[in-house]
Amino acid sequence: MASRDFIASNDGLDSDVSLLDDDSHYAPSSESDSGDEIAPSPRKKSKVKSSKKAKEGPKTSRRLFVVDADSEDDIPLAQIRDVIRAKEFEEAEDELIRCLDAPMWANIPFEKPNATFGGSEEIVDEVKEPISYFKALVTDEVVEHMAEQTNLYSVQKDGKSMDTSKVEIDLFIGLYLRMGLIQAYAVRAFWAEETRWERVADFMPRQRFEKLSSTIHFINNMAVTEDEKKKQIIQA
């Protein structure tokens, strides 16, 4: 542990304080004890003189032992060990994260996929309209169910039914598909005076379309259990 020695002496004229290193050798002495004075260490000393004059008297010296608080030797060994362990753990954790984030490549034998056509090779005599293919996926029963659940949800949400129907839901879906053909800055642009598109605006008012957009529903929220909600989140 680093330390410094202070030598304070009073020779009757000035009060001096000398700073010595650890390895400086100094022994207390006084003129009354011995006629020989011990010479101070040849090392450089920083001397601070006080302006206050002292009365004449016997020259005395005393040694003060002061611990240097800024020395690294003052840090406990256990604390240094904890710092080293924390740094090593942080480096190991960073290395593990780097390895986990790195892609894992493996050589897998190539398997040629089966590209044989498995459908019917019979030529179709009549090509159906696009709406026919759409109705094969979104049946009338599905649209009717959407209308019922939308009315139910509007009552649960606003306390008033939307009073929509299967015909209006069909129109709503068709308008959505048609609007996807035109890139507009916002949905309201299809009804705005400068950008109005009659193939959308003439079939449904903007307020009604926006209301349906915020209310359209497919299931009764009150009938869904907590387990079913969790399953939907996991599947999503």
- Is the model more confident about 27 or about 192? 192
Q: How far apart are CA 71 and CA 2, in angstroms?
A: 6
What percentage of the chain reaches a pLDDT higher than 90? 33
Structural domain boundaries of the chain?
3-70, 74-101, 130-224
> 96-151: per-residue pLDDT in tens?
787 777 667 778 888 888 988 888 888 778 888 888 989 999 999 999 999 999 99
> What residues form DSSP beta bridges with 64?
6
Tokens standing for residue 4:
């410094």
Query: Given this model, what pLDDT does residue 216 score?
Result: 94
Q: How far apart are CA 208 and CA 210, in angstroms?
A: 6
Q: In what order do the strands lie in the sheet with 15-20?
A: 47-49, 15-20, 3-10, 60-67
| pLDDT exceeds 50 at position 6 | no
- pLDDT band for 210, please (50, 70, 90 cuts): very high
Query: Given this model, what pLDDT does residue 89 score?
Result: 83
> 54-91: per-residue pLDDT in tens?
445 555 555 444 444 445 556 777 778 888 888 888 88
Sheet strands (E) in 32-93: 47-49, 60-67
58 touches 31 (CB < 8 A):
yes
> 12-50: per-residue pLDDT in tens?
444 444 444 444 444 444 444 444 545 555 554 444 444
| pLDDT exceeds 80 at position 9 | no
Residue 159: which region, alpha, beta or left (left: phi > 0; alpha: psi -120 to 50)? left
- Is the model more confident about 186 or about 81? 186
Axis crossing angle, helix 206-215 with helix 166-179, rounded to the nearest 10: 100
